[in-house]
Amino acid sequence: MKLLEERIIKDGTVRPGGIVKVDNFLNHQLDVELLDECGKEFARLFGGKKITKILTIEASGIAIAISAARHMGNVPVVFAKKAQTKNVDEDVYQTPVMSFTHGREFMVRVAKKYLSPDDKLLIIDDFLANGKAVLGLLDLAEQSGAEVVGVGICVEKVFQDGGSIIRDMGVEVLSLAMIDLDENGEMKFVRSR
């Protein structure tokens, strides 16, 4: 998606360790107009899939998922929670997820009443790096018996293997911006893997 790529070029940076920093418009401060365009693009890309719910993980995937849901006819958004709180049902699907950016493992959970075998899920997240978050969401979907019809990612780091892992499982992954790094550690965009 050219608009997202242009914004990454303008405001994004690469930090040591392959961290792509886009926090001033995507995952800390949010550019609502840009997110709306991302949601519109996900609706176009996955429009023929008869999606009943969007599944994401807190926190950065939520805003993007809501935007996509609005453009898909206001389907419900379910997000996996990273912490057990008093307001989370005890009857949950749960799975461990290692966070690349946090450098630690979270037990993520979704109340069983929000996912069912009747659901056709679109998984949406802000980044795809090593694939652990998406693999965790795929596991939650499998536990519930729901069908995953695809995965939508805002920014895929193709210099990490998450995209290949998920695609090799036979899951359709569509990314709005695919970033690789050149020999100097500078970002470059690729169109396909």
Q: Express each pLDDT in 138-191 by its tens digit.
A: 999 999 999 999 999 999 999 999 999 999 999 999 999 999 988 887 888 887
Confidence of residue 20 (pLDDT cuts 50, 70, 90): confident
Q: Span 22-31, mean pLDDT?
A: 88
Q: What's the rounded mean pLDDT across residues 77-97?
A: 86
Q: Directed axis angle between helix 32-45 and helix 60-71, to 10°?
A: 60
CA contacts within 13 A on the Cβ side of 29:
6
